Amino acid sequence: MKVYKDLSEISRNENSVVTIGTFDGFHLAHREIINRVVAIKDQSKQKGINSRSFIVTFEPHPQEVLKSKTPDIKLLTAIDEKLRLFEDAGIENVLVIRFTEEFSKTNAKEFYEKYVYGGIGISDLVVGYDHLFGHDREGSFQTLIELGKTYNFNVHRVEEIDIDGKPVSSTRIRAALAGGKIEEANRLLGHEFGFDGIVVEGDKVGRTIGYPTVNLKPVKENKVMPNEGIYCVRVIHSGKEYFGMMYHGFRPTLSEGIKRALEVHIFDFDKTIYGEKLNIHFLTRIRDDKKFDSKEELIKQIDNDKEFSLNYINVKRHPAK
């Protein structure tokens, strides 16, 4: 997949199937849009047309720039995570536009003239059912129909995706994570929720109880996190997969609940990796955080947590037929 940061890097091709959005979370409704982009591109190629798929997205997220409207914005997906998900979904090209206060004033017609029609080229546009765009979100689906007539491209609208009778949305996913409902969040996402973290030095308390941990600082500071507790996780380091237990909380038993911690005990792992990046995927919530009366009681509980995790992972990897 090719990632562009500037229009000057792109060779214009009028046979481009394009979609545009922030795609925070890249959930099932977003994936349906991407699937439609890929399908239209494939159909065009079968007809002998040299077509390509193209996503236009923004970094930082517009709400991070327009903080007066949403001062405490928390994101489900950082840009690196989104790019991995786009590539996994079969997208060939991505333009990442730097979103600024000045760019936010671009109106709908100017945006399509400069970036989409003039910069990328376009034969087909795919959008979600509630897509709005341009300065003050002035552009509607009808605006796109008119732009399509002007610049000779087809417009395809993907209808609402429902699960359990309700639309799939970032709001639903945030609510599930806030309640520690990892499986529900993952079902709405269509993939495992996670984050990229840099390994930082901790106080090494974990190794004194037989459970050394890797302390993490999220790459994206305003990343959504599940609520405090202990989780079973998948860990990716240097392309290799591990499993472990993730702790999110204030360590009330070992450090009197003074400082928030994000740390993971990785099974069958003994490397020193300060400064390196880990990709964490949440699989299920094990339990709430709590203060134990003694270190011994805590160790006994962690032993139980590990047994639960290993059983869960075994079932997940080898489900009963």
CATH 3.40.309.10 fits 2-166, yes or no: no
Alpha helices in the chain (DSSP H): 28-46, 62-65, 79-88, 108-111, 141-151, 170-178, 182-189, 295-317
The string of pLDDT tens digits covering residues 72-128 is 788 999 999 999 999 999 999 999 999 999 998 888 889 999 999 999 999 999 999
For 156-204, the pLDDT digits (tens) are 999 999 999 999 999 999 999 999 999 999 999 999 999 999 999 987 7
**How much is the average pLDDT of 13-26?**
96
**How many alpha carbons fall within 13 Å on the CB side of residue 238?**
6
Burial (CB < 10 A; 0-12, 13-18, 19+), residue 277, is: middle
Rounded to 10°, the helix 182-189/170-178 angle is: 160
Determine the Cα–Cα distance for residues 14 and 37; give it in Å rounded to an integer: 15
Helix, strand, coil percentages (3-state) for the chain, rounded to 5, are: 35, 25, 40
Strand duo 124-128 + 154-158: pairing: parallel
- What span, in angstroms and rounded, lies between the C-alpha atoms of 229 and 92? 38
Short-list 269, 214, 219, 217, CA closest to 246:
214
Smallest CA-to-CA distance from 264 within 252, 278, 250 is with 278
Give the domain ranges of the chain.
2-166, 193-317
193-317 belongs to CATH 3.90.1150.10: no
Instruction: Reply yes or no: is the peptide bond before residue 252 cis, omega within 30 of 0.
Output: no
pTM > 0.75: yes
Q: Note the pLDDT tens digit of each residue in 282-312.
A: 999 999 998 888 889 999 999 999 999 999 9
